[in-house]
Structure formats: C-alpha cells, structure tokens
Chains A and B, each alone.
Chain A
Amino acid sequence: MSTLSTHPSGTNYLNHTRGIMSWIFTLDHKRIGMMYLCSVLLSFFVGGMLAVLIRLQLWSPEASLFTQDQYNQIFTLHGAIMVFLVIIPSIPAALGNFVLPIMLGAKDVAFPRLNLFSYHLWVVGALVFLLALVTGGLDTGWTFYTPYSTDTDSAMGGVIPALTAAFILGFSSIFTGMNFIVTIHRLRPPGMTWFRMPLFLWAIYATAIIQVLATPVLGITLMLLAVERAFGIGIFDPSLGGDPVLYQHFFWFYSHPAVYIMILPAMGIISELISIHSHKHIFGYKFIAFSSIAIAIFGFLVWGHHMFTSGQSSLMNVIFSFITFSVSIPSAIKVFNWLATMYKGSISLNTPMLYALSFIFIFSIGGLTGLHLGTLATDIHLHDTYFVVAHFHYVMMGSALLAMIGGMHHWWPKMTGKMYSEFWGRIGCGLVFLGFNLTFFPQFMLGSQGMPRRYAQYDDYLPETVQLFEFYHQLSTIGSLVMAAGFFLTAGYLLHSIFFGVRAPANPWGGRSLEWQCASPPPHDNFAETPTVGDCYDFSVLEWDEKEQGYTWREDVPRPGEEGTG
C-alpha cells in the first residue's frame, strides 16, 4: 500500500466536514492545531501593537504619550500576553499539534478529547485575561512580584483575574504536554525507535516533560498569591510573617523551566529546517536529542539566577551561577551540530531556511549574553536594566518566535495546501531580521549604560546620559517599526497564498519525515495504514520531480518495510 497517496480531487481535513461547529468541537488534531495557530497569531498581533506603543512612548525622554500608570499597564499586558498566550503555546500547541501525530504516522494524539479541552481552556484563559482589563487593569509586570501584587492599595484590581487566567492557561499547557508524552510513548509507528524519531519530536518530548513537571508549581504559586490577595492571609506578606522572596523562588522554579518550554521546541524546529533545507543528514543526532533532555533537566536547577540581587545567600548565588553556566553547554552543542550539518550541504535559501539562519545568529547572541547575566559580579550591574530586556528578547522573540514563524513557513504548504510567494517570503524575513536586531541590539548598550527596565521616562539623568539613552531608544523604536512592517508583509503574502497560492505538492522541500509522505493538506485520517519508517534524515532516497514540483520517492529504492531493511 503506497503511503504517498495524494488525493487530487478527494477530501482533506479542511473540507471533509463543514460549518463552524465542526471546527469548534472537532477532535481532529490538525484542526485543533490550526485553531491554536490562529488564536496565537491574533494574540501576537495584540501583544505586538502594545509593544509598538511602548516603543513610541520611549522615543523621547519625557513621558510623552502615556502617564506612568498607563505605561505600567501597557508593558505588563504586553509581557503577559506574549509569554502566556503567545510563546508558550505557539510551537507545541499550534505547530506541534498539527505535525506531531503525522510525524508519527498516527491518526491523532493519544487523547483527542483532552486535546480539544486544552484548546477550550486556552480560550477561557484568554477571556478571563480580558476580564482583568475591565476589572481595573494590571500593572505588576508579567512576574506578579510580591509584595506589590498583593498590596491592595497600589496594585490594580485586575490581579486576581490575571492570576486565574494564567492558572487556567497553565492547565491548558499541562494537558497538551501530557497528551504529547503519551502519544510519543504509545503511538510510534513500526520502525520508529526512539533514535529514529525526528528531532522535533525529541524536542517536543523534552518540552512536554517540563510542561508537566513545572507548570503545576506555577499553578499553586498563583493560587497562593490569589488567596493572599483576596484574604490577606500573609503567606508572602512580611508584615504578617510571610516571605516575599519565597514567592520569587516559586515563580522562577516554574518560569525558568518555562523559558525552555519556549526554546526547546524552537530548537527542534531548527534541527528539522537546517537538515531538510541543506538536504544533508543531521549531524550528531544523538547529541542533539540528549542535549534536549539535558536542557530539560538542568533547566530545573538554575532558577536562582533571577534572584542574585534579592538577598539570596552568597553560597546559593555561587551554586546557581555555576549551574547556569552549565546549561549553556547543551545549547552550544546544538548550535555546533547545526553548523556541522550545514557544512558541505546543498543549502536552499528558502524562507524557512532564512529563518533558521536568523535563529542561529540571534540565539548565539541571546545565549551568550545570558552568561553575562549568570555571572554574579556583572549581574549586580545589569540586573533590572535594559540588558536583561535585550537578552530575553533575543532568546524569546528572536529565537523562539522566529523559529515558530520559520516552522510555520516550513509546514505552511502542508497545513494549507498552498505555496506562498518565496520572493516576498525572503523580503519579509530580511525585514524582520534587520528590524529585530535594530530594535534590540541598542538595548544591550542601553542596559550596560544603566538604563533601568520598566521606566516610562528617562529625563532625570545627566544631560549627556539622557542624550545617549535617547539615541539608543530612537534606534530601537525605528527598528520596531521596521520589524512591524516585516510582520505585516508576512501576514499579507501568507493570507494571499491561501486564496491565490499555487497548489502545494506533498513534499515541496524534500523532507523525509512522515508528514511529507501524506498529501498536502493531509486527509482527515492522515494515513490509511500506519506506515513503516526508516532513517528520516536520509534524503538520498528522494528525487526532484518536475511534474509534481516537489520531491518524490526514487523508483529504484524500496520503501522501508517493503524489503525488510529500513
């Protein structure tokens, strides 16, 4: 039975049932993935607009557009939306949901109902979040630090709804993670041993472990904080014997691993993109796979590096600093393996590959500046300055989010069945890349010169300092506009492709994992028969087919399972 069955006229997952209800209550992982994708992109738009407002405010040293209170609310909303609604669900829940079961040759994830439930939880979480806006707003920063967030006088009325929303979103994320772990354990096809899984699956697996193990701790922390705020029971309130630093410990025990929830799946995407678009076997498969697991484990042991200045004991500081350095080793292993994969490959500079290259460049800067921050002496100076802002935007936005956009381009033909314009794709990626660096690189300078983060104005310094800050801030604001242009362009040609794009072949890039062996877009059940798989990075079995405008299996090579050897 051939698995390479394109359904030229047949039905696919997009059209096999119709009506809005067939989407909202679907159990199909592909539709759930697409709904996540749309929701995440919508949130990204909202969060992005808020970011532009922040940048416009900082164009001049005085508080020109917004009052300080308004500014506090804007950056809080921006941060909370981007973290909880965008980056955490973006790759696992949106792309992962779509791709993971197909990569496994399965018909669905292990628990389709739970999958739908976690999407519905996401929606409820987002709505409760909106409630925070109408119940008085939120200005605590995305970190909800105590005692500010529990102080009824200064913090605003939206704290409890926002906490509830983050709690709900947390459970949405936990259920996704559970689902993926079980799916990977129980639904791998014949021939796919652990070390034959596409690396994206390893990354999603490591991510899912963090989601399952870290998120409950955030859940209980937010719950304690909500109770504290509602009833004033004094858990984190020093005037009642509580301990505000304990809150920070709890929060970062989740939130540091959470940064790996963001970056690990991104690294998984990059492993796929680099190998497929270089048409070369991935280098150091096992190293990449194990480094994902190593990052997941080490990621749990470094949370204290956010609290070097919070009065942690110096012994703890030293230990946390040391372990922080060791996390960068598995990250670096991955970077070197990607570079080695590209070496002597035949690289196609497609849009997804351009995003992958941007990722490597940006992540290297983001990761290395993490070491400046993990160094005790320098962090005292850099903590709570724009240097930290630049660092985490390099890793969260420049790395995690751009990887997600790259992955979206990579799987776009599969998801929609249409090809986008490669020309505009490259231009869009270029604009985003330039805009990104122009926005955030100056922020390293700002931070090292002492510009604090979360300030609505910066006119209260020596005149030459103000001038310096203003210069960098203006560069940054210009960069953000360039980046916004890039994203609007991207949205434009992607939308255009849905309606006017060329029909996509099953395998436009020459990938070998199973999703490239089913039709674009896939039929409702993905595969009629569970396919048997071989080495998913051995591209020698594929050849370009001019008629298909895509890659097909070479006639002279038997498929795995057909002649015994894989």
Chain B
Amino acid sequence: MSHSHEQHGHGDHPEHLGHHWDNLQQQFEAGKLGMWLFLATEVLLFGGLFVAYAVWRGNNPELYAYGSEYLDVTMGAVNTVILILSSLTMAMAVTYAQLNRQKALLVCLILTFLGACGFMLIKFFEYSDKIQEGILPGAAFYDPPPNLEASNYWNPDLPIIDRHTLLALRIEAAEREREGRPAQIDRPRFGEVSSVAPAAVGPAGFDPDAVRARHVRGEKSKVHPLQDPNRPVNAHMFFNIYFMMTGLHGIHVLVGMIVIGWLIYRAALGHFGSDYFTPVDLGGLYWHIVDLIWIFLFPLFYLI
C-alpha cells in the first residue's frame, strides 16, 4: 500500500485506499468483482476436466463403475465433511471480521486452516495407499506393484499388459466387431452403450453385473486390479482422470492454505475490522470454490 501513497498529495485518503479510487466502498466492490471473475476462470479450468470426465465416462461407463471400487469411500466422505465444516468456519470468519470481533476472527481462521491440513493429511494417506499398491494412472498402472514380492500380490498367470499389447487388443476387438464375429463378451450393460469399439474386452472378460452386485452389497474389491479377472480393458483410464482432478484440486487446497495462513498472520496483527475486511472476504470466496469443486468430485469419483 505504501507505494501508492507517495504518489499523490491528498492527505485525506484512508489507510487502505489505493490512490485511484474515490472511496473504500468503490474499491471493495471492484475487488469483489475481480474475485468473482477469477472464480469464473477457476470454474472453467476445472470445467475442461469435468468435460473430459463426461466424455470418457460416456465412452467407457464400465471403467468408472470398476475404478471407483478401488477408492476409499470413508476417507472421501470424511474429507467432504471436513471441507464443508471449514467452509462454515471461513464464512464465520468473514462475519466476525465485519463485526470487528478480532479474537473470534482469529479462531475461525485457524480452524479453517486446520480443516485444510486435515484434508491434505487424509489425501496424503489415500494417495500413498494407491502408490503403494501400484494403482497409478497411465501405463504405470500395468507395472507390477512395488510390494509384489512381499505380499505375493502378483498373479503370474495374468499377462503384464503394456501399451502396445493394449493397442493390439483394441484393434482385435474392433476387427471382431467389423467381421461380425461375436466380441469376447457383451458390451457393458450400464444403461448407456459405449460409443467406441467394445471396451469391455478384458484379458478374461468383464462382468458388469458382478460389479454392480458388489456395489449393491457395498463390498470393496479386495484383489489388486492386475490380479482381477474381471478387470476391463483400459481400467487405468479411470485413474488418469481421478489423479488429474483430485491432484489439481489438492494443489488448490495448498494454495488455499497459503492464503489462509497469510490471513491469520494479518488478523493476528489486527489489520482487519469492520471498515476493512476485503482480504478475508475474497480469501473466503476462494476457499468456498475450492470446497464446491470437491463437493462435485466426491460423488463423481467415489459414489457413482
């Protein structure tokens, strides 16, 4: 702020008012409009990924039914609750700033920060589980898991599929279809019909009914996907988009933690009050969008 002060002569400017504004109200409204625009760009940034999700899910519904089996619904649900609560404390922080209640403001900000930490901690456990088990995006999905020897995890009868084998499988499936030979197994029967060549030609076929039945019973797949005879072709694709979307979201949570940390620091110095709370308000808006995105991610990946 000091920068803009030396450049104009008016002594009657309030402390936080930039030199090009008439009054605090105008400045506040501009800041808010700017923040909403920024949130719009965030929505579009994630929007690209949501579109990708929709396209791939439309093309390969069975992969999503299968892949979500491997996510931990409990951890996801706990994280959802944590984020919603932290949104609440953030909203309370804004109110307390407006009411000039310094102590309550500080407490609420710290609670929000702790919520963010909790979220990242659980996310860390989720990710490290996946990495341990070798459930990774892309071609790495088909590498034997690192703890293979120790747990005797690996079923040597199943072929290790690399990307070239996969391609060959796909071409074979397409040829089968063109020649009118029956595909190895039926197309997925999840309501939608895949629009690409039969995706459900796993090494040993794929039984959507079994998956659905497990879903209904609430059982979790115990076997590693590479050991699973029911694994559909391209099962890794679910984890591509899962890691991309939750990863980008995680980065946003980290940025949110930096922002909240900075707000805590300034709140502790007593910078905010009923006449100046713009940063708390804008930081809050950002935190809510991070939250909101997760509220979409959770059902899309863990539940359906």
Give the CA-CA distance A112 to B30 in the complex, in Å. Answer: 12
For B34, give its contact among A111, A112, A214, A530 (CB under 8 Å): A111
Q: B144 on the interface (CB 8 Å rule)?
A: no
Interface flag for B163 (CB, 8 Å): yes
Q: CB distance B138 to A182 under 8 Å?
A: no
Q: Which of A223, A224, A227, A525 contacts B7 (CB 8 A)?
A: A525
Judge whether A558 is part of the interface by a CB distance below 8 angstroms.
no
Contact: B55 with A242, CB < 8 Å? no
Task: Flag if A234 contacts B236 (CB, 8 Å).
Answer: yes
Q: Are A246 and B48 in contact (CB-based, < 8 A)?
A: no
CB contact under 8 A between A241 and B60, given known A185-B33, A186-B26, A525-B8: yes
Residues of B within 8 A of A212 (CB): 37, 40-41
CB contacts (< 8 Å) of A182 on chain B: these are 30, 33-34, 37
Which one of A102-110, A395-403, A443-451, A460-468 contacts B? Answer: A102-110
Cα–Cα distance between A501 and B285 once the two chains are bound (Å)? 51
Given contacts A234-B138, A240-B139, contact A246 B55 (CB under 8 A): yes
A130 and B241 alpha carbons, distance in the complex (Å): 31
Give Cα A243 to B240, complex, Å. Answer: 13
Chain B residues with Cβ below 8 Å from A215 are 41
Contact B45 A220 (CB under 8 A): yes
Alpha-carbon distance A250/B164, docked complex (angstroms): 26
Give chain B residues whose Cβ lies under 8 Å from the Cβ of A181: 33, 37
B interface majority secondary structure:
helix
Contact with A along B49-65 (1 / 0, CB 8 A): 10110011001100000
Chain B minimum-CB-distance residue to A101: B20
A227 in contact with B244 given A182-B33, A216-B42 (CB within 8 Å) = yes
Q: Is the CB of B19 within 8 A of A107?
A: yes
1/0 contact string of B165-186 vs chain A (CB within 8 Å): 0110010000000000000000
Interface bits A226-256 vs B (CB < 8 Å: 1, else 0): 0100011111011111110010001000000
Q: Do residues B38 and A178 form an inter-chain contact, with CB atoms below 8 A? A: yes
Instruction: Say yes or no: A186 contacts B18, CB within 8 Å.
Output: no
- Do B7 and A216 have beta carbons less than 8 Å apart? no
Contact A243 B137 (CB under 8 A): no
- Indicate whether A323 reaches chain B with its CB closer than 8 angstroms: no
With A174-B41, A215-B41, A240-B166 in contact, is A186–B52 under 8 Å at CB?
A: no
Contact in complex: A110, B30 (CB < 8 Å)? yes
- The verdict on A172 contacting chain B, using a C-beta distance below 8 Å, is no
Say whether A110 contacts B41, CB under 8 Å: no
Q: Counting CB contacts under 8 A, is B110 at the interface? A: no
Inter-subunit contact A232/B48 (CB<8 Å): no
Smallest CB gap from A177: residue in B = B37
Query: Does B237 lie at the interface of the complex (its beta carbon under 8 Å from any beta carbon of A)?
Result: yes
B29 within 8 Å of A (CB atoms): yes
On chain B, the residues within 8 Å of A106 by CB distance are: 20
- Interface check B270, CB cutoff 8 A: no
User: Which chain B residues numbered 235 to 271 have a C-beta less than 8 Å away from chain A?
Assistant: 236-237, 240-241, 243-244, 248
Q: Which of A215, A233, A246 has the most CB of B within 10 A?
A: A233
User: In whole angstroms, what is the CA distance A437 to B130 when docked?
Assistant: 60
Chain A residues within 8 Å of B166, by CB: 239-241
Nearest Cβ in chain A — how far from B143, in angstroms?
Answer: 12
- In this assembly, does A280 line the interface, its C-beta being within 8 Å of a C-beta of chain B? no
Shortest CB distance B85–A (Å): 29
Q: Would you call B217 an interface residue if the criterion is a C-beta within 8 Å of the partner chain's C-beta atoms?
A: no
Q: Does B234 contact A (CB under 8 A)?
A: yes
Chain A interface extent, by class: 35 or more
| Interface assignment of B193: CB less than 8 Å from any CB of chain A | no
Q: Check B140 for interface membership: any CB of A closer than 8 A.
A: yes
| Pairwise interchain contact A186-B38, C-beta atoms closer than 8 A | no
Residues A112 and B20 in contact in the complex (CB < 8 Å), given A186-B30, A219-B45, A233-B137: yes
Report whether A213 and B48 are in contact in the complex, using a CB–CB cutoff of 8 Å.
no
A524 close to chain B: CB less than 8 A? yes
CB–CB B44/A233 < 8 A: no
| Contact partners of B3 in chain A: CB under 8 A | 27
Interface residues of A in 415-440 (CB under 8 A from B): none
Given contacts A186-B30, A234-B138, A241-B166, contact A224 B55 (CB under 8 A): no
- Rounded to whole Å, the gap between the CB of A39 and the closest CB of chain B is 23
List of B residues within 8 angstroms of A178 by Cβ = 34, 37-38, 41
Q: Does A63 contact B (CB under 8 A)?
A: no
The answer to whether B4 has its CB under 8 Å from any CB of chain A is yes
Cβ–Cβ contact A231 & B34, under 8 A: no
Least CB distance from A297 to B in Å reads 15
With A178-B34, A186-B29, A216-B48: A231-B140 Cβ-Cβ less than 8 Å: yes
Contacts of A234 in B (CB 8 A): 137-139, 163, 236-237, 240
B4 in complex: contacting residue of A112, A220, A227, A242, CB < 8 Å = A112
Task: Give, as a whole number of angstroms, the nearest-CB distance from A313 to chain B.
Answer: 10
A524 touches B7 (CB 8 A): yes
Q: C-beta contact mask, A162-199 vs B, less than 8 Å → 1, else 0? A: 00000000000010001101100111000000000000
Residues of A with C-beta under 8 A to B299? none
B124 in the interface (beta carbon within 8 A): no
B190 within 8 A of A: no
A114: B residues at CB distance < 8 A: 34
Q: What are the residues of chain A within 8 A of B248 when measuring CB–CB?
A: 220, 223
Q: Does A217 contact B (CB under 8 A)?
A: yes
CA distance A229 to B138 in the complex (A): 11
> A182-B34, A186-B30 are known contacts. Are A235 and B240 too (CB-CB below 8 A)?
yes
Residues of chain B lying within 8 A (CB to CB) of residue A235: 52, 240-241, 244
Q: Is the CB of B41 within 8 A of A216?
A: yes
B222 to chain A, nearest CB (A): 25
Q: How far is the CA of A227 from the CA of B60 in the complex (A)?
A: 21
B139 to chain A: closest residue by CB:
A232
Extra contacts besides A212-B40, A217-B44, A239-B163 (12): CB < 8 Å: A112-B20, A174-B41, A182-B30, A217-B47, A220-B45, A220-B46, A220-B49, A224-B244, A240-B166, A240-B236, A241-B199, A246-B52
| A and B contact pairs by CB, cutoff 8 A, 29 listed | A112-B20, A178-B34, A178-B38, A182-B37, A213-B40, A213-B41, A216-B44, A217-B45, A220-B45, A220-B46, A220-B48, A221-B48, A224-B244, A231-B137, A233-B138, A233-B236, A233-B244, A234-B137, A234-B138, A234-B237, A235-B241, A235-B244, A239-B166, A241-B170, A241-B234, A242-B240, A243-B56, A524-B7, A525-B8
